[in-house]
Amino acid sequence: MSTRQTAVRGQFYPYDANDIKAMFDHYNRILDGHLKDKTLFHQNARAIIVPHAGYIYSAFTANMAFRVLENTHAKRVVVIGPSHRVYLTGTSISEYDRYETPFGILTIDKELVATLKDKFGLHFMPDAHHEHSTEVQMPFVKNYDKEAAVVELVYGDEDPSRLAQIIEYLLNDPQTVVVISTDLSHYYDIKKAKSLDSICLDAVQHLDIKKLHQGCEACGKIGVEAMLIAAKSIGLKPILLDYRTSADASGDESGVVGYMSAAFMESE
């Protein structure tokens, strides 16, 4: 039985599960104490957008989205992220049997993997799956939806419209949720970063694909665009959850990275 072993454990997130759990608990105490609209945690999110930087910078933002997603109790979680390490054409789908996390093993839904390969012509490029943009999401999945199976998609030079078809197909199953991984602008001063990131935020909030191409510098922009296309097609409502930069953790405003989280809700 093949296992996708952790590649960035102890680098992007703590090695020890107890340390990760302490972070999540700390963030949730903040949310419980300060979030005014707690109805968010009782709505039915079908998909989320989350960042993928080191936890000390971006995990609060990601945690809020996974906390919202927890309410769905989904049977499977499909995590989609951009490739940072290797160049690839199209999208690679993980064919491992299991996915290792500090909280234990996640089962990969091999039946869904086979279906997606057949229906959309996806391939498996093993080197593409030593990828932090997807791996950093898996401890959240295991923490908030312990029994869920996962599927990991890593894309390179991909057509957002094609990826949107995959997302729309996935979301036709009410037991499946989608996680889109992206950071926003990289290494601008705080003023410039917030200006560029506001374009991304506005595009997501209004499902405005044209706006997305007017200055948004998200590293996972292909995935974000695909999500917006799918959300418009099936009538999901976007809700922005959190935005911050690395300066919130580091205090250094000279060269920051931007992070956002959003949820896509079923229309009432």
Number of domains the chain is built from: 1
The model's pLDDT over 196-251, given as tens digits with 9 standing for 90+, comes to 999 999 999 999 999 999 999 999 999 999 999 999 999 999 999 999 999 999 99
Residue 9's beta-bridge partner residues?
Answer: 13
Q: What three-state secondary structure class fits 235?
A: coil
The domain in which residue 75 lies consists of 3-266
Mean pLDDT of 48-68: 98
**Which CATH number characterizes residue 138's domain?**
3.40.830.10
Task: Compute CA distances 104 → 76, 152, 212, whole Å.
Answer: 16, 17, 37
The confidence band for 38, taking pLDDT boundaries of 50, 70 and 90, is confident
Are the C-beta atoms of residues 85 and 127 closer than 8 Å to each other?
yes
How far, in Å, CA of 55 to CA of 27, rounded?
A: 11
Mean residue pLDDT across the chain: 97
Q: How far is the C-alpha of 203 from the C-alpha of 214, rounded, in Å?
A: 9
Cα 82 to Cα 106: distance, rounded to the nearest angstrom: 21
Instruction: Kindly tell me if the per-residue pLDDT of 77 is higher than 80.
Output: yes
DSSP state letters, 43-70: S-EEEEEE--S-HHHHHHHHHHHHHHHG
Position 3 pLDDT exceeds 70? yes
Packed helices 160-171 and 221-234: angle between N→C axes, nearest 10 degrees: 50
In terms of Cβ atoms closer than 10 Å to its own Cβ (0-12, 13-18, 19+), residue 12 is: buried
d(C-alpha 259, C-alpha 254), whole Å: 16
Residue with the two structure tokens 């020890």: 16
Taken as a whole, the chain contains a residue count of 268
Q: Report pLDDT for 40.
A: 85
Do residues 263 and 68 make contact, with C-beta atoms less than 8 angstroms apart? yes
pLDDT band of 43, cuts 50, 70, 90: confident
d(CA 27, CA 22): 9
Instruction: Output helix, strand, coil percentages for the chain, rounded to the nearest 5.
Output: 45, 25, 30
pLDDT of residue 36: 83
Q: What is the number of other CB atoms lying within 10 angstroms of the CB of residue 27?
A: 18
- pLDDT tens-digit series, residues 135-160: 999 999 999 999 999 999 999 999 99
Residue 126 pLDDT greater than 70, yes or no = yes
Sequence-ordered alpha helix ranges (H) in the chain: 17-34, 55-69, 110-120, 132-135, 138-144, 160-171, 190-205, 209-212, 221-234, 247-250
Local confidence band at 268 (pLDDT 50, 70, 90 cut-offs): low
Query: Can you tell me the distance from the alpha carbon of 199 to that of 216, in angstroms, rounded to the nearest whole number?
Result: 5
| CA atoms of 248 and 106, how far apart (whole Å) | 32
DSSP 130: S
